[in-house]
Amino acid sequence: MPRRENYLPFYFSYAEGKWKMKELIQHIIDTERVFSYRALCFARNDNTSLPGFE
């Protein structure tokens, strides 16, 4: 019997190798975390070298 989570929208990918909704949401969360940290550094006038973000 197929697993139930394979039918949920968070686990759906429209093509092989494309991001699933769950991966997309996690990427947005990670990006927000990086930008929040950078904004905090700028607000505190912190001179710490910020690593690149790709």
Alpha-carbon distance of 20 to 10, in angstroms, equals 6
Residue indicated by tokens 């975390």? 33
Which of 54, 13, 48, 8 lies closest to 30 in space, CA to CA?
54
pTM for this model (two decimals): 0.68
pLDDT tens for residues 1-54? Answer: 556 655 677 778 888 899 998 899 999 999 999 999 999 999 999 988 888 877
| Type of residue at 31 | T
Q: Could you tell me the CA-to-CA distances from 48 to 18, 34, 36, 40, 52 in Å, in that order?
A: 36, 14, 15, 11, 13
